[in-house]
Amino acid sequence: MTTLHDPESRGFASDNYAGVHPEVLVALAAANGGHQVAYGEDVYTARLQEVMAAHFGERAQTFPVFNGTGANVLSLQSMLPRWGAVICAETAHIQTDENGAPERIGGLKLLTVPAPDGKLTPELVDRQAWGWGDEHRAQPGVVSITQSTELGTAYSQSEIKALTTHAHDLGLTVHMDGSRIANAAASLDLPLRAFTTDAGVDVLSFGGTKNGLLYGEAVVVLEPEASTGLAYLRKMDMQLASKMRFVSAQLIALLDGDLWLRSAQHANAMANRLRAAVEGLDGVRMTQPTQANAVFAVLPAGVADRLRTRFRFYDWNEATSEVRWMCAFDTTEADVDTFAAALRAELAAA
């Protein structure tokens, strides 16, 4: 097949833009050939259970799925009755970027609270944790947090522990949207278990696509009593892969070793390099800490649009001229330096 794109072209719009890590492609090829039982009764999915248990504890149950929206919807559905509600930040991905899927497909209610840094606290949870027994109000049942957050910040282990303890005391369970969980672990310099299982998280949406997979995420049940029906919900929600071995093989390639961490460390390092190169430039104002692989900044009017003629990236808030720059496992130092030089030139022209 003729290559239709420039393989050397990279931007700063999303870590989803990146290709597949070469080690993952090798794993896919190794898993190919011959027949394996479909729908998860294959040796790769069995091995994935062992790999995930090594990271998250022997009670962990892993359900591979196609994508992050599916992982989030399935997780929350399995944790709530039909009348249940989820407390989350206003900026949470389940609220802003999933086109109502948790509500339309999952049949649940989102109860949002403002979180300027993207992180919930026990006090913020209390703003929506009320109304139990009131038949006129959706019943709060789950607190959902994102790690790392949509604003590029990372919860510390102690912040998560305080949040889960408070939630459990209220009779709530805790879900973590971990689409960029590897980036958070790299930033915190902690094993995955330390700020999930050991910190009291009940169910995790584990992200792989943003960290170098072709496709594939997983629902990881850390506390079995907090989730029911996933085996049936996964099929109902069209997230049951027939050739599941190819999802599982990718996750094994990522996690049965340190590829997940190496890739995340690199993406984070490139984000820090980018921040260091542009922070302090006249007209650039950073708006969030850079604690994972995202950089948020406000630019002078018109600069972002001119810069986008060469590099793809997104506005985060058009009203305030705030933009988001994302780095990926394949972002290079040259990519960052070229982009920073172009920004300096546009600022000078402005």
- Within 8 A by CB and 6+ apart from 283, the residues are 299, 300, 303, 347, 350
3-class state of residue 104 by DSSP: helix
Residues 318-333: tens digit of each pLDDT: 999 999 999 999 999 9
Long-range contacts of 124-128 (CB under 8 A, 24+ apart): 124/89, 125/87, 125/163, 125/166, 125/167, 125/170, 125/172, 128/85, 128/87
CA distance 188 to 292: 9
Residues 296-305: tens digit of each pLDDT: 999 999 999 9
Q: Which residue has the tokens 């994102």?
A: 146
DSSP assignments along 220-261, one per residue: EESSGGG---HHHHHHHTT---TTTHHHHHHHHHHHSSSHHH
What pLDDT sits at residue 340?
A: 98
CA distance 39 to 217: 15
What is the percent of the chain with per-residue pLDDT over 90, rounded to a whole number? 99
What pLDDT sits at residue 350?
A: 79
Phi, psi (rounded to 5 degrees) for 111: -110, 105
- Within 8 A by CB and 6+ apart from 308, the residues are none
pLDDT at 179 over 90: yes
Over range 210-232, report the average pLDDT: 97
Residue 256 near residue 51 (C-beta atoms within 8 A)? yes
- Token pair listed for 218: 């997983």
pLDDT at 349 over 90: no
For residue 148, say if its preceding peptide bond is cis, omega within 30 degrees of 0: yes
Residue 163 near residue 125 (C-beta atoms within 8 A)? yes
Over range 32-53, report the average pLDDT: 98
What pLDDT sits at residue 99?
A: 94
Pairing of strands 294-298, 314-317: unpaired
- Reported CATH class of domain 259-349: alpha beta
Where, residue-wise, is CATH 3.40.640.10 in the chain? Answer: 21-255
Residues 134-174: tens digit of each pLDDT: 999 999 999 999 999 999 999 999 999 999 999 999 999 99
Domain 21-255 indexed as CATH 3.30.1860.10: no
Q: What is the pTM of this model?
A: 0.97
Residues 239-283: tens digit of each pLDDT: 999 999 999 999 999 999 999 999 999 999 999 999 999 999 999
Where, residue-wise, is CATH 3.90.1150.10 in the chain? Answer: 259-349
What pLDDT sits at residue 69?
A: 97
Residue 116 near residue 149 (C-beta atoms within 8 A)? no
DSSP assignments along 260-281, one per residue: HHHHHHHHHHHHHHHHHHHTT-
Report the first-to-last Cα separation within the chain, whole angstroms: 44
What pLDDT sits at residue 67?
A: 97
- Within 8 A by CB and 6+ apart from 272, the residues are 290
- Within 8 A by CB and 6+ apart from 319, the residues are none
CA distance 296 to 287: 6
Residues 8-24: tens digit of each pLDDT: 999 999 999 999 999 99
